[in-house]
Chain A
Amino acid sequence: MNASATHDPPAGPVGTRPEAPMARRFYWAVVREIWENRWLYLVPAGVGVLIVIATAINVMHMAPRLHMPPLDPAMRHEDVESPFIFASLLLMFSTMVVAVFYSVDALYGERRDRSVLFWKSMPVSDTTTVLAKLSIPLLVLPLVTFGVTFVVQLFMLAFGLMSAGSGLWSHLGLMQLWWEEFFHMVAFHGIWWAPFWGWFLLASAWSKRAPLLTAVLPPLVIGFSEKIAFGTSHFASWLTFRFVGGMEGPPPPYPMARGMLMQKSPLQFFTDIHLWTGFVMCAVCAALAIYLRRQRGAA
């Protein structure tokens, strides 16, 4: 059967249409993620506000102690610095949780509410969309975490200076701390964990329901199966290495908490072969997620 709705002379050939530059489409793809998931910045901002309030209360109680002459300069240094590091760890933990929940829902949520049909009606490729979604835990959230941490620590510094006087500044290597925090958040939480972010996105693209379970169950099943069948835990060790291995390095010259931030120099970090194998894993997961988004539509 041949059907034809042919009744007018054919129009001219299809002309080339201008396209928005790729960077522009990518920018708007990222912007729409931030619009949709306001908790990406509201959660760290909320935690930041709580830290600032807690610090304000704490400083009022601690003020007399800070005015005391220092007995042990090393102790005093750590004593003064540890609340700053604790604040950044708390913020890092909160955004890590946010990143996990974001990633597992990123490609599943748009299918669930069928809005994927609207997004696909726009001239934005599946690749651009998936890469924009991947950039959120990989780059955007670490930068948001650092930005909030920076502002929170400025408040903490201001409270400290008000109560303890300008002597506080000399006990704090804040510029160095900010650099280490920035490096830690971007390098470890974003880049080193790239395979995790890729995997979560893949689970999100693949899952028909409960994407968090889809992301978490397979590693658990593999880990337990290996333990039961062979009595070994190579998979669990490998997973642990992928989680914390990027931070491992020579013993830090700093006190414990501070040392966790930067055990490797940027050179050591970026020349680590495991970072690059992690990137390959992330790229494979992202490629599969792009393939699945293309195949699945709103089904």
Chain B
Amino acid sequence: MACIEARGLCKTFGTTVALDRLDLRVEEGRIVGLIGPNGAGKSTALNAMLGLTAYEGELRVLGRDPWTERDRLMGDVCFIADVAVLPRWITVAQLLDYVAGVHPRFDRARAESFLAKTTIHRARKVRELSKGMVTQLHLSVVMAIDARLLVLDEPTLGLDILFRKQFYDSLLNDYFDRDRTIVVATHQVEEVEHVLTDVLFIDRGHIVFSRSMEQIESRFVELNARPDQAAAARAFHPMHERQALGRSVMLFEGVDRGRLAAFGDVRTPSIADLFVAVVGGRQQGGAQ
């Protein structure tokens, strides 16, 4: 059974189309990056999956309809919307008491052990904590919930690079296992690249690209072509080309790496390069 399955998902805000017949399938045990420019529909798609917004079309999350069964779904799903949603008046101890009270899958001892690694004191209120500490606190609570799906929407927004790295390291080392699924939406591609198993690009309410990291590694090649070989390389129909330090950098899909190596240096493209090629190309096409 798919963890998330959407068919023809639509959502409009007035005349703005946020989701435009979006189709999506995420299997369990994956770490999926939902990557898109601002306003592409990332948060709307996640909100629909979490039962926070009404939608048209079909959507099942862990076999449930999120809009009609949000409270039951939240027994199996955790989410961190962004760093600022923990109530500012609550103390750390009250937060643990509350979650332990309402969430049957919360392991308080586990949360306490995560918190013991931080400098967060139980008597402190959220408003007295720094932005990084609030994220640590939220993550400690979420990681102590034995959920099947964790949804993160720009979870490290506004944090410094040390906290951001720590955040994803904790998630991988202390939380993720093959039974759990993580969906993380962000436009900061570089910081999630190393943790993902799958990548989805979203643009103007559509999923425009969907591959596993293995597929990206095996199918996509970036060529930094020698100036005299650029024209020959173009014969292989690069999906995108840009100029860097006076040389042509081309991106190819499904072209043998060995053949391209004859024209210059080859490597696996970063997610950011792929994103620019796929989404940037679409946006230029749209503008024209």
Contact = CB atoms under 8 A, between A and B. Distances in A.
Contacts of A72: none
A18 B104 contact: yes
Given A4-B25, A25-B102, A297-B52, A36 B74 contact: no
A2 interface: yes
Interface residues of A, number: 45
Contact of B214 (A7, A18, A29, A115): A7
Nearest to B126: A115
Contacts of A17: 72, 75-76, 104-105
A25 B94 CA distance: 15
A123 B75 contact: yes
A1 B103 contact: no
Contact of B85 (A11, A18, A115): A115
A13 B52 contact: no
B79 A5 contact: no
B240 interface: no
A123 B71 contact: yes
Contacts of A124: 71, 74, 102
Contacts of B26: 5
A271 interface: no
A120 interface: yes
* Most B CB within 10 A of own CB, among A2, A10, A11, A115: A11
A6 B25 contact: yes
Contacts of B1: 10-14
B24 to A, nearest CB: 5
B236 interface: no
A5 B30 contact: yes
B127 to A, nearest CB: 10
A121 interface: yes
A210 interface: no
Interface stretch (B203-211, B217-225, B264-272): B203-211
Contacts of A110: 87
B103 A4 contact: no
Nearest to A10: B1
A28 B101 contact: yes
A36 B90 contact: yes
A13 B1 CA distance: 6
A110 B190 CA distance: 33
B99 A125 contact: no
Contacts of B32: 5
Interface in A93-107: none
Given A17-B75, A117-B85, A121-B74, A3 B101 contact: no
Given A7-B197, A14-B76, A122-B102, A117 B81 contact: yes
A1 B23 contact: yes
B185 to A, nearest CB: 14
A114 B47 CA distance: 14
Given A6-B27, A20-B101, A125 B78 contact: no
A36 B27 contact: no
Contacts of B210: 3-5
B64 to A, nearest CB: 8
A36 B87 contact: yes
Nearest to A5: B198
B36 to A, nearest CB: 12
A122 B104 CA distance: 10
A297 B47 contact: yes
A24 B100 CA distance: 11
A50 interface: no
Contacts of A19: 72, 75, 104
B227 interface: no
Contacts of B209: 3
A122 B86 CA distance: 12
A294 B50 CA distance: 12
Interface string B11-45: 00000000000011111111010000000000000
B23 A2 contact: yes
Contacts of A28: 98, 101-102
Contacts of B28: 8, 10-11
Contacts of A128: 71
B103 A123 contact: yes
B105 A125 contact: no
Contacts of A120: 50-52, 70, 74
Contacts of B24: 3-4
A201 to B, nearest CB: 19
A128 B27 CA distance: 32
23 contacts: A1-B207, A2-B207, A5-B210, A7-B27, A8-B30, A11-B29, A14-B63, A17-B105, A19-B75, A20-B101, A24-B102, A28-B102, A31-B98, A32-B94, A35-B90, A36-B89, A113-B87, A115-B86, A115-B88, A120-B50, A120-B52, A121-B80, A121-B81
Interface of B: 1-3, 23-30, 32, 47, 50-54, 62-64, 70-76, 78-81, 84-90, 94, 98-99, 101-105, 148, 178-179, 197-198, 200, 206-210, 212, 214
* 3 nearest CB pairs, A to B: A3-B207, A3-B210, A28-B101
Interface of A: 1-8, 10-14, 17-20, 24-25, 27-29, 31-32, 35-36, 110, 113-115, 117-126, 128, 294-295, 297-298
